[in-house]
């Protein structure tokens, strides 16, 4: 139950458009894309400015009223799904690009601005924001910063953390911490923004971001058929040798993933007549387009000669490229039809990857031979998505244990990009030490002593 005195004082600091209660709150605010454990909040606050948000948060602190911060609701770890008794604060009214600086190569935007809006606005000016994820149309830059999103082009351009130059953040006590700098290099005291990037909104609420842009490159895309996981890894090595730093995406899909995606997506087709154990979507970003297609083709010809790939198609147009990417991003519909399942996104470095995958496949195959296992992901940066159907909550726990304990054994991490949110927070200690977890708790205590700000996310 939301505190009555809190409610009456709230009315004094927010305007009409900000407060939504009861039946007027849409179901979209009850759960993130995971669909797990939906809970409709009693009260939804949609502040229209940083100042209004600050006043709301300060009041929440005073009344020890817990709240969950929401953006595009595209997370999959339950971070934005309300817990009972929490007020939901949506940042979707804090929307809009404030400045594109073509000289400084930056864009400044409010937290609720969708990623795709940014991508399109900067492309018009010949620039690129080189972070891309399947949820681009709905996810927001605030969410991208708070969750340190990764996505499809990390090998070349890095994760969100590498592309964020400035932040404005509202702290749990209402303080607005502003550092909207556009400089690439800043060693002027502690880099506080790093604390808010990737901490999933548990240390502060991000309200504005300054993002780094890069000059546009020409992209070349191929979809390859591969016979074994060992060949996939060899192909990655060859790509790095031949294309060097030009490799921008190296995505892998297992045959079971391919079959499931093609079955679920109405208008998806495989580029190949035959089936293969593995598929790789490889892209390079090229500064010098002149002669680049020939270079790309020659690189693939080498891979064919070495029998690392069995077949390959090259996208000749933007729409052909899009079609190939839709296979890689088709998992959404599969998941929607899947029901109970675990969705993991472990990160294991390239040296440990083959042994890791072998172990996980064997252990799941032995203990849960009838469950559907789908593996795909950003092999180029060691971030694999592993989805396994489950028949009960107990099975889910057992599956998490198999997948995460193997990650620990092979020097990996339990999450490369999705974060822990509510759904995976209890597994934090699998790949972080006791001392690390203890210091995380101390930071949480320092920044949010009342434990009102996205409580029980990341840390249990």
Q: Any idea what DSSP says for residue 84?
A: T
**Which residues contact residue 298 at a Cβ distance below 8 angstroms, ignoring those fewer than 6 apart?**
none
197 binds a second copy (CB under 8 A): yes
DSSP state of 82: P
| Residue 74 lies near a second copy (rule: CB under 8 A) | no
- Give the interface segment with a second copy, choosing from 108-116, 158-166, 255-263, 265-273 (CB under 8 A): 158-166
Tokens encoding 280: 């790789």
The encoded tokens of residue 46 equal: 């949609």
Distance CA 313, CA 316 (A): 9
Applying CB under 8 A, among 1, 12, 24, 103 the residue interacting with a second copy is 103
9 binds a second copy (CB under 8 A): no
Choices 51-59, 219-227, 270-278, 415-423; region in contact with a second copy by CB under 8 A:
415-423
The two most distant CA atoms of the chain are separated, in Å, by 74
Does the protein bind a second copy through residue 97 (CB under 8 A)?
no
- The only residue of 23, 24, 244, 393 in contact with a second copy, by rule CB under 8 A: 244
Give the residue with the Cβ less far from a second copy, 25 or 127.
127
Distance of CA 132 to the CA centre of its chain: 9
Q: How far apart are CA 375 and CA 383, in angstroms?
A: 11
- Single out the residue of 132, 285, 329, 395 in contact with a second copy (rule: CB under 8 A): 285
Encoded tokens for 446: 């320092």
Q: Judged by CB under 8 A, does residue 159 bind a second copy?
A: yes
Which pair of tokens denotes residue 444?
A: 């949480």
Q: Is 22 in the site for a second copy (CB under 8 A)?
A: no
Q: Kindly state the smallest distance separating residue 319's Cβ from a second copy, in Å.
A: 24
- Regarding 418 and contact with a second copy (CB under 8 A), the answer is yes
Do residues 203 and 195 touch, judged by C-beta distance below 8 A?
Answer: yes
How is residue 156 written in tokens? Answer: 């070349």
Strand order, beta sheet including 97-101: 97-101, 106-110, 205-212, 164-170, 176-179
Residues 121/109, Cβ–Cβ less than 8 Å: no
Q: Which is nearer to a second copy, 41 or 455 (CB)?
A: 455
Residue 13 engages a second copy in binding (rule: CB under 8 A)? no
277, 262, 378, 396: which is closest to 331 by C-alpha? 262
187 near a second copy, judged by CB under 8 A: yes
Which CB, 113 or 147, lies closer to a second copy?
Answer: 147
Which residues make beta-bridge pairs with 90?
Answer: 70
Residue whose token pair is 């297992």: 254
Cβ nearer to a second copy, comparing 46 with 193: 193
Closest distance to a second copy from the beta carbon of 237 (Å): 7
User: Which of positions 290-349 make contact with a second copy (CB under 8 A)?
Assistant: 290-292, 295, 347-349
Pick between residue 129 and residue 243 the one whose CB is nearest to a second copy. Answer: 243
101: helix, strand or coil: strand
The answer to whether residue 174 forms part of the interface with a second copy (CB under 8 A) is no
123 vs 446 by CB, closer to a second copy: 446
- By CB under 8 A, the residues from 420 to 449 that bind a second copy are 420, 428, 431-433, 435-437, 439-440, 442-443, 446
- Do the beta carbons of residue 207 and residue 91 sit within 8 Å? yes
Of 127 and 258, the one with the shorter C-beta distance to a second copy is: 127
Q: Which of 45, 246, 344, 374 binds a second copy (CB under 8 A)?
A: 246
Site for a second copy in 114-153 (CB under 8 A): 126, 147-148, 150
* Binding positions for a second copy, 379-398, rule CB under 8 A: 381-383
Instruction: Put the strands of the sheet holding 218-226 in their side by side order.
Output: 311-314, 218-226, 278-286, 247-254, 373-378, 383-389, 341-347
Among 29, 46, 63, 182, binds a second copy (CB under 8 A): 182
Segment near a second copy (CB under 8 A); pick from 20-28, 87-95, 156-164, 368-376? 156-164
Q: How far apart are CA 404 and CA 360, in angstroms?
A: 9
Q: How many other CB atoms are found less than 10 A from the CB of residue 178? A: 14
Three-state secondary structure call for residue 193: helix
Q: For a second copy, which is the closer residue by CB, 93 or 425?
A: 425
Applying CB under 8 A, among 358, 411, 426, 449 the residue interacting with a second copy is 411
Does the footprint of a second copy cover residue 162 (CB under 8 A)?
yes
């Amino acid at each position: 139950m939301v505190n009555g005195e809190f409610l009456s004082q709230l009315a004094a600091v927010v305007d009409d458009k900000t407060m939504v209660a009861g039946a007027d709150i849409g179901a979209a605010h009850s759960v993130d894309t995971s669909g797990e454990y939906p809970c409709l909040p009693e009260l939804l606050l949609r502040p229209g400015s940083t100042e209004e948000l600050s006043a709301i948060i300060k009041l929440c602190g005073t009344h020890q009223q817990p709240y969950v911060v929401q953006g595009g609701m595209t997370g999959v770890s339950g971070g934005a799904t309300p817990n009972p008794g929490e007020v939901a604060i949506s940042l979707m009214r804090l929307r809009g690009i404030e400045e594109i600086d073509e000289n400084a190569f930056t864009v400044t935007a409010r937290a609720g601005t969708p990623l795709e809006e940014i991508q399109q606005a900067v492309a018009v000016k010949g620039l690129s924001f080189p972070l891309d994820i399947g949820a681009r149309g709905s996810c927001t830059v605030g969410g991208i910063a708070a969750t340190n999103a990764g996505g499809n082009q990390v090998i070349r351009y890095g994760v969100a953390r590498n592309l964020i130059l400035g932040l404005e953040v509202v702290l749990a006590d209402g303080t607005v911490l502003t550092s909207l700098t556009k400089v690439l290099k800043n060693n002027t005291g502690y880099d506080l923004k790093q604390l808010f990037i990737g901490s999933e909104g548990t240390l502060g609420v991000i309200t504005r971001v300054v993002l780094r842009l890069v000059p546009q490159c020409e992209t070349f895309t191929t979809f390859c058929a591969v016979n074994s996981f060992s060949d996939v890894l060899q192909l990655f090595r060859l790509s790095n040798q031949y294309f060097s730093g030009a490799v921008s995406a190296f995505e892998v899909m297992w045959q079971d993933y391919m079959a499931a995606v093609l079955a679920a997506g109405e208008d998806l087709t495989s580029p190949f007549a035959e089936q293969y154990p593995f598929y790789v979507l490889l892209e390079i970003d090229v500064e010098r387009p002149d002669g680049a297609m020939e270079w790309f083709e020659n690189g693939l010809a080498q891979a064919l000669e070495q029998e690392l790939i069995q077949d390959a198609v090259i996208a000749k147009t933007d729409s052909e490229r899009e079609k190939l990417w839709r296979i890689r991003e088709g998992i959404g519909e599969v998941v929607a039809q899947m029901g109970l399942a675990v969705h993991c996104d472990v990160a294991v470095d390239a040296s440990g990857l083959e042994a890791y995958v072998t172990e996980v496949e064997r252990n799941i195959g032995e203990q849960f031979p009838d469950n559907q296992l789908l593996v795909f992901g950003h092999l180029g940066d060691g971030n694999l998505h592993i989805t396994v159907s489950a028949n009960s909550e107990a099975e889910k726990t057992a599956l998490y244990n198999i997948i995460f304990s193997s990650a620990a054994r092979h020097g990996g991490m339990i999450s490369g990009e999705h974060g822990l949110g509510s759904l995976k927070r209890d597994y934090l200690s699998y790949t972080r030490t006791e001392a690390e977890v203890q210091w995380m708790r101390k930071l949480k205590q320092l920044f949010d002593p009342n434990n009102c700000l996205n409580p029980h996310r990341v840390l249990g």
